[in-house]
């Protein structure tokens, strides 16, 4: 293949992959017009990353390396993290997915961290924080003779800053907030997301210590330590604190837990600093100011004729490590402190996706002992080959700068290029591009429905299942729809038993199996493993407690759980969605009901300059949310006025019937007419476009954005396209359009 002709290698991209690439990755001009094809994106990335070789050898011809990088991505065998796909070879040039920032116990340090967070989110990264250094609420502040407001109040500051910075529309901001279990405010922290309208831009985890877990096992008290002076301020019963963590996780999935002592046990550079936090999805422990560059191998592409293609896997591992080390080199870091720390340790995180699909291709059930043994074998191979590739790079380029004094050097190991090599990350949108299962998760569904325009229903079917169903002669549209309605095939006796055993979904698998799979991969992973442990709706608090304790015994570095329907139930209990319940065949079904108009509503009016004159858009809301919209043209009469009035009526009906504001904006924004108005960001293409922009302004001005989006997500639907969402590693991802809650 000639890399000057990227389309000479035919890309086998699905419709969903193309949608995701067009919406979130491909380069655009100022008017939003797409400027590159998917093939040109991969070529752009390959050229930019291979150019790093010339740093070490100015005469190097990187054409062949660029060709290898291109083929690896174009063949969907490997994908780097999203910022690399988005920004490599472009002006922004920020390629890292995740960062950890320190938060010191002073107003100056706290707001420096807020500023740094804004810069990172603007560049497309996510951030992790430990709030454990902050003195507790009501503690003394000597400089002002006042009292401290505590960590949780400052978490809200970071949350608001994240919501304000929209990252240029490419990636959402996401944060991880961690508090040590021995912090005096720990009980308030555990409950800080019980209200689902709070801290929506944070995942939270409790930083658990070995001493705490020992106290839990023995039902003992443990000390709370004030970080201001390291003095004991009180004690709590460990079992009661643990039970509170478990109960809240059962309630809505948060907090998770991370085992801090285990993170630091595997910290390769303790002489540089201690691990306090992780990235937003928990798989990447980092020192303060560190970043990490992630990438994932598509294991489904590492199967040849029903066998693992070990030689090809070895080639891809070595090529991927070379790729990720080059990312470290050419990255444009958002802060000098981050550049210094990243070059000092050169951490990379090579992981996998397509694990469930690989098992299907090999004829192995996800919940079998054979699958667990293969998981260990595969990850051991990737880890060993990844470290060998890093050793090879060190011979040519030198070890990471902090190698002297590191765990490697103290053990007498040969110099290595990267302080860490492997990480199992959630793969979200990149697994959609690769048309494969996410990370090490089971497949989410064999078949599912999605609603498109005019209430049409499309049935999506797992490609391997459709292939098997057609080969064995039991495929039919009616069966696929029935599978989508049930969500599982395990009880469908008209499907062969061996097929039902093979195509097992996340909710068919016991929480214990989820956790054993996580532990199997963790055993041979430098950093941590992102995995959601799924529970059925009827799981008990005791079931969750069992899994948290099992995670500790199996050697996991953290655990995140999600109980099916727990967040939907939370929303319904707040009364935010109004529904009527009826009984059909003994089951409860819910349908939306149009809200009745109260006599008095609160509203805002926005003036929008259109090509037909000024348009005044009034948005009214009731106690539930947006309710109705009226329009008035500056000059009365005419077609424009009647069309705008019609738009207002339809928007009002949509809102009163439960349609989200984002969906309305999506349908109206960008519609153009013969007489646009304004330039650049102020350009109004039509009256419909003006209404969309007025609604958008209203959402931003009144803080609706993240709340409305969160409510939609908690109902189990994507706020962008209405498709189903998956819970993956503490994040929410739509596999139809690529929407991700956690950047």
Q: Which of 283, 290, 628, 741 is catalytic?
A: 283
CA distance 246 to 191: 11
Query: How far from 715 is each of 150, 159, 441, 573, 709, CA to CA, in Å?
Result: 32, 22, 22, 12, 10
CA distance 533 to 249: 11
Name the nearest CA neighbour of 443 among 503, 501, 369. 503
Strand-strand pairing, 256-259 and 613-621: unpaired
CA distance 624 to 168: 30
With vertex at residue 287, the alpha carbon angle to CA 316 and CA 412, rounded to the nearest 5 degrees, is 65
Q: Catalytic residue at 292?
A: no
Name the nearest CA neighbour of 337 among 113, 57, 85, 666. 113
Local structure of 54: helix, strand or coil: helix
Helix ranges, 523-627 (H): 541-553, 566-574
8-state DSSP, 595: P
Q: Catalytic residue at 197?
A: no
Query: How far from 624 is each of 294, 595, 692, CA to CA, in Å?
Result: 41, 9, 21
Query: Cβ neighbours of residue 553 under 8 Å, at least 6 residues apart?
Result: none
CA distance 303 to 500: 21
Q: Catalytic residue at 283?
A: yes
Name the nearest CA neighbour of 222 among 254, 184, 249. 184
For the CA atoms of 512, 126, 351, 348, what is the dihedral angle to 10 degrees? -130
Q: Which of 98, 175, 251, 281 is catalytic?
A: 281
CA distance 332 to 329: 9
CA distance 154 to 106: 11
What is the 3-class SS of 482-501, one letter each residue? HHHHHCCCCCCCCCCHHHHH
Query: Cβ neighbours of residue 545 under 8 Å, at least 6 residues apart?
Result: 242, 243, 246
Q: Which of 267, 279, 345, 620 is catalytic?
A: 279
List, as own/partner pairs, every contact residues 618-624 make where C-beta atoms lie below 8 angstroms and the sequence separation is at least 24, other chains included.
619/694, 619/695, 619/698, 622/595, 622/598, 624/575, 624/576, 624/578, 624/595
The answer to whether the CB of 319 falls within 8 A of the CB of 261 is: no
CA distance 229 to 539: 42
For the CA atoms of 332, 333, 335, 340, what is the dihedral angle to 10 degrees? -110
Name the nearest CA neighbour of 374 among 385, 361, 386. 361
8-state DSSP, 597: P
Residue positions annotated with a catalytic role: 279, 281, 283
């Amino acid at each position: 293949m000639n890399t000057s002709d990227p389309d000479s290698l035919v890309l086998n991209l699905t419709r969903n992959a193309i949608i995701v690439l067009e919406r979130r990755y491909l380069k655009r001009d100022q008017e939003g017009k797409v400027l590159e094809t998917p093939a040109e994106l991969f070529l752009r990335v390959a050229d930019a990353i291979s150019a790093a070789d010339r740093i070490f050898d100015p005469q190097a011809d990187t054409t062949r390396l660029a060709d290898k990088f291109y083929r690896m991505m174009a063949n969907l065998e490997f994908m780097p993290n999203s910022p690399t796909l988005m920004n490599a070879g472009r002006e922004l040039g920020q390629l890292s997915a995740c960062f950890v920032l320190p938060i010191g116990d002073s107003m100056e340090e706290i707001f420096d961290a807020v500023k740094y967070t804004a810069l990172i989110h603007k560049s497309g990264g996510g951030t992790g924080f430990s709030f454990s250094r902050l003195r507790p609420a009501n503690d003394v502040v000597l400089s002002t003779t006042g009292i401290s407001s505590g960590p949780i109040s400052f978490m809200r500051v970071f949350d608001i800053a994240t919501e304000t910075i929209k990252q240029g529309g490419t990636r959402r901001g996401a944060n991880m907030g961690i508090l040590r279990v021995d912090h005096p405010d720990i009980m308030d922290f555990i409950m800080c997301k019980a209200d689902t309208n709070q801290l929506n831009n944070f995942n939270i985890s409790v930083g658990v210590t070995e001493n705490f877990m020992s106290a839990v096992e023995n039902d003992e008290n443990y000390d709370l330590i004030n970080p201001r002076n390291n003095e004991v301020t009180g004690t709590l019963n460990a079992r009661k604190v643990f039970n509170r963590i478990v109960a809240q996780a059962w309630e809505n999935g948060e907090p998770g837990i991370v085992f801090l002592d285990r993170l630091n046990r595997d910290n390769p550079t303790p002489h540089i600093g201690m691990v306090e936090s992780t990235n937003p999805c928990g798989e990447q422990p980092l020192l303060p100011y560190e970043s990490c560059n992630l990438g994932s191998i598509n294991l489904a592409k590492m199967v040849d004729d029903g066998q693992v293609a070990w030689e090809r896997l070895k080639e891809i591992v070595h090529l991927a490590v070379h790729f990720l080390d080059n990312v470290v080199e050419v990255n444009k870091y958002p802060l000098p402190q981050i550049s210094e720390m990243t070059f000092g340790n050169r951490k990379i995180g090579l992981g996998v996706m397509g694990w469930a699909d690989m098992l299907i291709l090999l004829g192995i059930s996800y919940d079998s002992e054979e699958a667990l043994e293969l998981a260990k074998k595969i990850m051991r191979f990737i880890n060993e080959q990844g470290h060998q590739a890093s050793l090879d790079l060190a011979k040519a380029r030198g070890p990471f700068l902090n190698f002297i004094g590191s765990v490697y050097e103290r053990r007498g190991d040969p110099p290595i290029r990267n302080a860490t090599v492997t990480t199992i990350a959630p793969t979200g949108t990149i697994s959609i591009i690769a048309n494969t299962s996410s990370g090490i998760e089971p497949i989410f569904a064999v078949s599912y429905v999605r609603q498109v325009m005019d209430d049409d229903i499309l049935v999506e079917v797992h490609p391997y299942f459709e292939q098997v169903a057609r080969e064995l002669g039991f495929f039919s549209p009616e069966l696929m729809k029935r599978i989508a309605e049930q969500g599982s095939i395990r009880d469908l006796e008209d499907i062969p038993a061996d097929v039902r055993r093979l195509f097992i979904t996340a909710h068919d698998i016991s929480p214990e199996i989820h956790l054993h799979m996580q532990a199997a991969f963790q055993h041979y992973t430098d950093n941590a493993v992102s995995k959601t442990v799924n529970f059925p709706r009827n799981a008990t608090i005791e079931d969750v407690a069992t899994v948290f304790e099992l995670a500790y015994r199996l050697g996991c570095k953290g655990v995140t759980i999600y109980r099916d329907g727990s967040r939907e139930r939370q929303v319904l209990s707040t009364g935010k969605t109004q529904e009527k319940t009826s009984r059909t065949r003994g089951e409860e079904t819910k349908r939306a009901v149009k809200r009745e108009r109260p006599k008095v509503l609160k509203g805002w009016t926005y003036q929008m300059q259109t090509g037909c004159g000024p348009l005044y858009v009034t948005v009214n809301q009731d106690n539930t949310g947006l309710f109705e919209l009226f329009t008035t043209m500056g000059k009365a009469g005419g077609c424009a006025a009647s069309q705008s009035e019609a738009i207002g009526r339809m928007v009002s009906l949509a809102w009163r019937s439960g349609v989200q504001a984002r969906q309305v904006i999506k349908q109206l924004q960008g519609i153009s007419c013969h007489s646009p108005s304004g330039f650049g960001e102020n350009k109004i293409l039509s009256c419909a476009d003006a209404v969309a922009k007025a609604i958008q302004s209203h959402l931003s001005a009144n803080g609706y954005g993240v709340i409305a989006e969160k409510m939609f997500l908690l109902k189990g639907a994507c706020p962008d396209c209405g498709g189903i969402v998956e819970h993956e590693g503490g994040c929410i991802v739509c596999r139809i359009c690529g929407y991700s809650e956690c950047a």
